[in-house]
A and B are shown apart, each in its own frame.
Chain A
Amino acid sequence: MKDLKTVMAFTIKDMIKRKSFVVSTIIIILIIIIGLNIPNIIKLFSDDSSSSGNTRLLVVDSTNLFENKLNELTNMNLGYEVNSTEQNLGYDDIKAKIENDEIDEAILVEKNNKNYKLRYIVKDMTMVNSMPKELINAINTVYTNLQISKLDLTDEQMQSLTPKFEYSIEQTEEQKVNGNIFAMLMLSIVLFYAIYFCAYQVSSSITTEKTSKIMETLVTSTSPRTIVLGKTIGIGIVGLLQVCLFVIVALVSAKVCLEPEILDSLLDMSMMTPYLAIITIVYFVLGYSTYALLYALTGSTVGKPEDIQSANTPVAILAVIGFYLSYFTMMNPTSDLNLFASIFPISSPFCMPFRVMMGIANGGEVALSLAILIVTILIIAKVAIKIYSNAILNYGTKMSLKDMIKIYKDKNN
């Protein structure tokens, strides 16, 4: 136990003192802060006229078809600041205005025999290939209202023409799904990267000890079991603290930097319950343990740095399969496949927290998922420690799966 604490303490101290760790942590924190400040940065570099974030749309209606009524589009929350003009401006005039940054876009109303043609003129068509449907609908509505107002209808007749429907949505599935997909995807992605990269550190640390030949001195000082567990726990603690730091920085930055409406649309803070926080941390710890022990096993089988990638590939493939199984079934969270992903040990750490977040995971499912994951970890730990104990002194070529099976079966080891 004393040795375990010593290995853990050394691992933690060694890791947080590394320049690469400090630099990468600072870079990620800066990326989070800058990323959440992008709307503010854009605003800072934009001029006053576009500081509202609305697109400046000029309607050139020399025929006065809309009778300046299109200015009403500004109040329809479509993201446009509309100005109408009856001046006889042509395409070249509009092009000059766009190039001079007086406007962003324009609609040129032209009469063609008995019909009218609306030319939508934008700076470039990278992001749009036709006039937005919302804009078309809004223009149609304004035009219709204009024509109706000329019919001299009574208020009652006017009201009967204006639809006052109440819209709602219901599902036929019994399970009710809460939350927004952005928050769920973020949770799943953060868990995957946190688990994967922390676990990878274990492999990297073990391989460094082997390739730097310090291992032989180390195994005469303490048992391989202590080394594996001490390293795994030590790196796990650092990883958990690092992830917590990133989450705190992200939440504080989001609160400080983002407009309340944007923040609410991204994250529904009412979903962030203590139960979800505990479940997320538990699955991080268990998911990390699963992959860290697998990486300890593969890391111990290589003797040369150039073999690390190929030795770790099977674990990386497992992790990616687990993540995508979880990620793609999120689109249909009430499906049996998503339930399977939340129980299957290679995908459950990425999947179950988001099922809990959506409120569709019952206690039984969580208990079953945790039990399977814990049993899996115990089995992996037993195999990993046994192979690690015998493989760490192998400095030759990378061990094959056949060699590993022989080592595991050998009672003398």
Chain B
Amino acid sequence: MGLKLENVSKKFIGKQAVDGISFEVNEPGVFGLLGTNGAGKTTTIRMLLGIIKKDSGEITWNNKQVERKNVNFGYLPEERGVYPKTKIQDQLLYFANLKGMNKADATKEINKWAKVLKVDEYLPMPAEKLSKGNQQKIQFMTAIIHNPELIVLDEPFSGLDPVNTEILKNVIIELVNQGKYIIMSSHQMASIEEFCKDILILNKGKTVLKGNLKEIKEGYKANRLEIVTDKNIDNYIKEYKMNIEFSKNNEYSIKIDSEDDAHQLLQALIENKILVNKFEIKKPSLNDIFIEKVGE
């Protein structure tokens, strides 16, 4: 069951866009597809949606070859787009009809999701009258309205304000609870860390890292100390030959080589009666790992 890509490649005129990538999404949840701009994410997404043909390799959904005509996935593209002059209700109905829904079912689903996403008042309006954020929510509706098993979300949170981001996050959690498979591509590492169990990082069309996010992070040793004190401790940090990444009002983020260095610093601060309000040894964030893997 699920989605499987095996050794998939695609070359455009003069450029190898995707070079032999493989991954599997075996159970419902969110899978993170990461990479810099031009790394091959969109090409990979287009191939697994059947929009463009692969040059080699296998893409299967529930053990069946993925082709445009035999899949009905949901897709929120990175390139946001709506028909500017057409009423929201009409364009949502149009896409729902194209995905095989009849008018009655489609109308019911449109009304349901419009309420959830708080855009029901905009249904009779042309899209050009909506804000970018609301247009994005409309496009998100076109991706999920036909109740697809697999949904591809390309940068779902970009351009949304915190309130709308929260609404969308709740919908994604709801979809996962319903047993949906979601492929999420994003540059917002915090969102990926929040949602994704498994990830794949692409660089120049090749896989540079893939696997369970928790296991990946556990494979990295701690490299940062976050500490909050009641006094300036710059001298202590220099004494232990550590580098300050960030400091403000006695809040420090310090680069460390080992956990022992952090403990020695803590001991020195206590001995000198400096009050420590926060002391947290941190492993690299996904952002750090991403930069390490692709930021040459």
Contacts and interface: CB of A to CB of B under 8 A. Distances in A.
A269 B124 CA distance: 48
Interface in B71-106: 73, 75, 77, 79-86, 90, 94-95, 97-99
Given A14-B86, A217-B142, 17 more contacts: A6-B94, A6-B97, A10-B94, A14-B85, A209-B83, A212-B82, A213-B77, A213-B80, A216-B77, A216-B81, A219-B51, A220-B49, A220-B75, A221-B95, A223-B68, A390-B52, A412-B55
B238 interface: no
A214 B83 CA distance: 7
Interface residues of A, number: 27
Given A10-B94, A217-B142, A223 B69 contact: yes
Given A212-B81, A212-B84, A413 B53 contact: yes
A217 B13 contact: no
A10 B85 CA distance: 13
A3 B69 CA distance: 12
A229 B124 CA distance: 28
A29 B123 CA distance: 33
Majority DSSP secondary structure for residues of B touching A: loop
Contacts of A403: 13
B169 interface: no
Interface of A: 3, 6-7, 10, 13-14, 18, 209, 212-223, 390, 393, 395, 403, 406, 412-413
For the side of the interface on B, what is the size category? 20 to 34
A412 B98 CA distance: 26
Contacts of A222: 98
B46 to A, nearest CB: 7
B17 to A, nearest CB: 12
Contacts of A390: 52
A302 to B, nearest CB: 15
Interface string B248-271: 000000000000000000000000
B123 to A, nearest CB: 16
11 contacts: A6-B97, A209-B83, A212-B82, A213-B79, A216-B75, A216-B79, A216-B81, A220-B49, A221-B98, A221-B99, A395-B79
Nearest to A10: B94
Given A220-B51, A221-B99, A393-B46, A18 B85 contact: yes
B207 interface: no
B139 interface: yes
B232 to A, nearest CB: 52
Contacts of A14: 83, 85-86, 90
A217 B49 CA distance: 11
Given A220-B51, A413-B53, A3 B98 contact: yes
A220 to B, nearest CB: 5
By Cβ-Cβ distance, the 3 closest A-B pairs, closest first, are A213-B81, A214-B81, A213-B79
Contact of B75 (A213, A217, A223): A217
